[in-house]
Chain A
């Protein structure tokens, strides 16, 4: 493949040979072994790398902090890993305007540290902030408890720069929160798993770091009681910045609640919450409870970890369904759910086929009521037998149309997205 060999030397010429190296088994993605890893130093190099790769018929897998490389369907192919590690600056923090422009390879932790210098933050609490990069967090649409108050990435991002497979570098959105000029490509790119372009930079709206924070936890006797309390809290005048539920095969459902703001405001809300939860048992809060979902990623293997979405009023029935399915299949399970209707579930202790049938059953129930189940981590024997994302309904043709416009040859992350896109 003379064309491909020539491509490698072209790539070395773009970034310098010290930033291109042979991939190792550690770089494999779901069993697909890329040949090379390249680390461009700026957006112009990224664009030239993509153009070269496209012309040479190479397939590209973008990578940030490598924390979520196993999310998505196994790739149909992958020759070149394009790492954004060197695009890691906070390009601008306009604290008077409460916006920040960040390069895609910057870790969330580094961004937050920079923003904290002026008392601000990106109001987002996804997994592994010390390693996960802005680009990867965006590409996977990850989020945490804060979204109940501040929204998810789609509500925080106001601008994006995308490098397309054909070498186009395109900006959309801008530096102001209120902006309806043109199509909302920042939203299109969010959650797109790098299949439309490589994110090189994003602009976010920021929020002040809260003055005070208070958390409290309750134990409930069963899922119905848990759901009733969650709905009562959502229907109240309280304004929490966190409302999550934790459940497991071995324990009763527990609810965590957090308030942020002035000390007076927090205290009053805590009192009101305690009164509202009079029927439940107040318990000692767990340390680091707002990072509880991260704990789902460790335990005994084999295991699968899924992300599920559902309506808030269905939390209770879903938990009961999980318990029922898991008991029948002799699976251990743990989950963390945000009251807004998104959560993560870990299943342990079964063969691939048992995992598969359990997840298919749970997914059917969720999808029938406007929800979803996506497999984020699991053995290859499981991932290769299921579309990890679930049903596309009637949207697959238009999604494929969008992909065909942005990446007609299928250079970026082929096969990893919904419907095998």
Chain B
């Protein structure tokens, strides 16, 4: 990068400028480690004004930028752009305001997800979206991906809990989307910004909704001979008109890994179900009896109900450590994030097993059974020639299967870099074109995390006035749709 431009950046962030290659390597990827790109520089602003100044420089000098929270994303959303910079929000990590009577908390984007709950827990509140990485991931990252977590079945996703955002647009200007009150008149811009994977600008303040902790939480563990039987129990629970706080399922391979890693004491079974009910005590007591009955009817041979907060934590320990635990049973793995309609669960699981056997690879399954969000973990050994390619191909085919069943290629990890090629499986050209209209409205210069999410960049035309060819078009590099 030109010294002139580095000087400009240094003038804004001072010591918050990283250009030393050995230090830049820390930022070359996020949680998706098989894609790496070295950024030209990394900037760590400390305030909204600094973020604005940095983005203004990028806008003037046409430098693409990628915002980064904790770098735990699993789809390459924070993967740097070749020839671009990374803007890390790690230094903007203050909880600015806690408004308990209105159940709102205002935070900077670098605040860690679990820290929000920790801050309001003494008053009986919690911040509901709880991705498994919550002790490390940032609110800004959660906003970018519309993160979910095990409890989003009942409590919703990040977008359910974000009321307002202060956003630095890709031209450096500042806007305030949404409001502390609900239903602000106008377009639901917070609704569009959450989940936009850093492509529409950078959030510098977020107004979050917190939720009252329920009166009781009861967690039940049930062991089945197969995931099919466990799946039938899930359907039975939903058909009975219940809405549990969470329903998680693990298959035997996933259980083995979790046991090897954190010794949660899970029963050795074909399919493990974790059902969590919360709410008023009388309601939960009654419903838990029903869940117990449904599980037995579907063949559960062991049922445990956590009797204390400590027992509950142990029950969840295995599930939350599941991905990381894969390292115990396999040198490498690819985790996917497909979603299917719940009723397709048995069919899809058996198809995944068949496809895995055909590819000669093991697939461990951990998933949010309540909302059909699968996390198949394709296990392989990169040292064995051809295995990585076969593993990648299998994981893509699993996603293809999800889409064919009426589902989605991503339930919570985001499209990022990793799955943009698959967007065309889920959406037709007019759908992708229309979504990109939003991109053009916010970021006509395509500097904010460009190249992510969509397989083909749509050029943003001026919609009125005489036609002006885009330089890329004149150069024969891109085509106008």
Distance in angstroms from B425 CB to nearest chain A CB is: 10
* Residue B159 is within 8 A (CB to CB) of chain A in the complex: yes
Residues of B within 8 A of A155 (CB): 156, 160
* Residue A131 is within 8 A (CB to CB) of chain B in the complex: no
Per the bound structure, the CA–CA distance linking A310 and B102 in Å amounts to 10
Interface residues of A in 163-183 (CB under 8 A from B): 164, 168-172, 174-183
Per the bound structure, the CA–CA distance linking A404 and B460 in Å amounts to 12
B368 lies within 8 A of A178 (CB): yes
Binds A, one of B28-36, B50-58, B176-184, B347-355: B176-184
Binds A, one of B80-88, B238-246, B321-329, B381-389: B238-246
> Which residue of B102, B419, B442, B454 is within 8 Å of A401 (Cβ)?
B442
- From A265, which residue of chain B is reached at the shortest CB distance? B283
A183 lies within 8 A of B196 (CB): yes
Binds A, one of B1-9, B15-23, B109-117, B405-413: B405-413
B464 lies within 8 A of A408 (CB): yes
B101 lies within 8 A of A181 (CB): no
* Residue B235 is within 8 A (CB to CB) of chain A in the complex: yes
* Residue A311 is within 8 A (CB to CB) of chain B in the complex: yes
* Residue A275 is within 8 A (CB to CB) of chain B in the complex: no
- From A170, which residue of chain B is reached at the shortest CB distance? B434
* Residue B188 is within 8 A (CB to CB) of chain A in the complex: yes
Binds B, one of A8-16, A294-302, A350-358, A369-377: A369-377
Residues of B within 8 A of A265 (CB): 279-280, 282-283, 286
Residues of B within 8 A of A191 (CB): 183, 185-188
A96 lies within 8 A of B239 (CB): yes
* Residue B301 is within 8 A (CB to CB) of chain A in the complex: no
* Residue B175 is within 8 A (CB to CB) of chain A in the complex: yes
- From B422, which residue of chain A is reached at the shortest CB distance? A181
Residues of A within 8 A of B419 (CB): 181
- From B125, which residue of chain A is reached at the shortest CB distance? A235
A342 lies within 8 A of B182 (CB): yes
Residues of A within 8 A of B441 (CB): 398, 401-402, 404-405
Distance in angstroms from A197 CB to nearest chain B CB is: 8
A398 lies within 8 A of B169 (CB): yes
A184 lies within 8 A of B192 (CB): yes
- The digit string for B319-346, where 1 denotes a CB below 8 A from any CB of A, is 0000000000000000000011111000
- Say whether, besides A178-B411, A371-B181, A395 and B238 are in contact (CB < 8 Å): no
B463 lies within 8 A of A404 (CB): yes
* Residue B121 is within 8 A (CB to CB) of chain A in the complex: no
- From B402, which residue of chain A is reached at the shortest CB distance? A176
Distance in angstroms from B10 CB to nearest chain A CB is: 29
* Residue A133 is within 8 A (CB to CB) of chain B in the complex: no
Per the bound structure, the CA–CA distance linking A266 and B287 in Å amounts to 13
A178 lies within 8 A of B408 (CB): yes
* Residue B276 is within 8 A (CB to CB) of chain A in the complex: no
B440 lies within 8 A of A405 (CB): yes
Distance in angstroms from A214 CB to nearest chain B CB is: 13
* Residue A360 is within 8 A (CB to CB) of chain B in the complex: no
* Residue B453 is within 8 A (CB to CB) of chain A in the complex: yes
Residues of B within 8 A of A180 (CB): 145-146, 148, 157, 195, 408, 410-415
* Residue A303 is within 8 A (CB to CB) of chain B in the complex: no
- The digit string for A382-408, where 1 denotes a CB below 8 A from any CB of B, is 000000011011110111011011101
A187 lies within 8 A of B408 (CB): no
- From A158, which residue of chain B is reached at the shortest CB distance? B408
Residues of B within 8 A of A342 (CB): 181-183
A182 lies within 8 A of B435 (CB): yes
- Say whether, besides A99-B341, A265-B286, A408-B464, A394 and B215 are in contact (CB < 8 Å): no
Chain B: how many interface residues by the 8 Å CB criterion? 96
* Residue B359 is within 8 A (CB to CB) of chain A in the complex: no
- Say whether, besides A178-B371, A395-B176, A261 and B438 are in contact (CB < 8 Å): no
How many A residues are at the interface, by size bracket? 35 or more
- From A395, which residue of chain B is reached at the shortest CB distance? B175
Distance in angstroms from B137 CB to nearest chain A CB is: 15
Residues of A within 8 A of B423 (CB): 181-182
- Say whether, besides A97-B342, A181-B423, A309 and B414 are in contact (CB < 8 Å): no
Interface residues of A in 144-170 (CB under 8 A from B): 151-152, 154-155, 162, 164, 168-170
Per the bound structure, the CA–CA distance linking A416 and B281 in Å amounts to 48
- Say whether, besides A174-B407, A176-B407, A207-B243, A398 and B427 are in contact (CB < 8 Å): no
* Residue B212 is within 8 A (CB to CB) of chain A in the complex: yes
- From B197, which residue of chain A is reached at the shortest CB distance? A180
* Residue A329 is within 8 A (CB to CB) of chain B in the complex: no
Per the bound structure, the CA–CA distance linking A66 and B397 in Å amounts to 47
* Residue B478 is within 8 A (CB to CB) of chain A in the complex: no
Residues of A within 8 A of B282 (CB): 262, 264-265, 267-269
> Which residue of A188, A340, A390 is within 8 Å of B185 (Cβ)?
A390
> Which residue of B176, B287, B411, B431 is within 8 Å of A172 (Cβ)?
B431
* Residue A283 is within 8 A (CB to CB) of chain B in the complex: no
* Residue A94 is within 8 A (CB to CB) of chain B in the complex: yes
Distance in angstroms from A101 CB to nearest chain B CB is: 10
- The digit string for B241-256, where 1 denotes a CB below 8 A from any CB of A, is 1110000000000000
Per the bound structure, the CA–CA distance linking A162 and B196 in Å amounts to 19
* Residue B214 is within 8 A (CB to CB) of chain A in the complex: yes
Residues of B within 8 A of A380 (CB): none
A97 lies within 8 A of B431 (CB): no
* Residue A362 is within 8 A (CB to CB) of chain B in the complex: no
Interface residues of B in 418-473 (CB under 8 A from A): 419, 423, 426-428, 430-435, 437-442, 453-454, 463-464
B195 lies within 8 A of A372 (CB): no
> Which residue of A143, A313, A397, A406 is within 8 Å of B102 (Cβ)?
A313
A398 lies within 8 A of B442 (CB): yes
- Say whether, besides A154-B188, A309-B183, A405 and B343 are in contact (CB < 8 Å): no
Residues of B within 8 A of A170 (CB): 430-431, 433-435
Residues of A within 8 A of B213 (CB): 237
Distance in angstroms from A235 CB to nearest chain B CB is: 7
Per the bound structure, the CA–CA distance linking A262 and B173 in Å amounts to 52
Distance in angstroms from B128 CB to nearest chain A CB is: 12
A264 lies within 8 A of B188 (CB): no
B438 lies within 8 A of A183 (CB): yes
Residues of A within 8 A of B95 (CB): none
Interface residues of A in 330-374 (CB under 8 A from B): 340-342, 366, 369-372, 374
* Residue A6 is within 8 A (CB to CB) of chain B in the complex: no
* Residue B357 is within 8 A (CB to CB) of chain A in the complex: no
Distance in angstroms from B441 CB to nearest chain A CB is: 4
Given contacts A188-B192, A418-B186, 15 further A-B contacts (CB under 8 A): A96-B343, A97-B372, A175-B406, A180-B413, A184-B159, A184-B192, A191-B185, A192-B188, A209-B241, A262-B282, A370-B179, A372-B183, A372-B185, A394-B175, A397-B173
**A-B complex: 9 closest residue pairs judged by Cβ atoms:** A187-B191, A265-B283, A208-B241, A370-B180, A170-B434, A408-B463, A237-B215, A405-B437, A96-B343
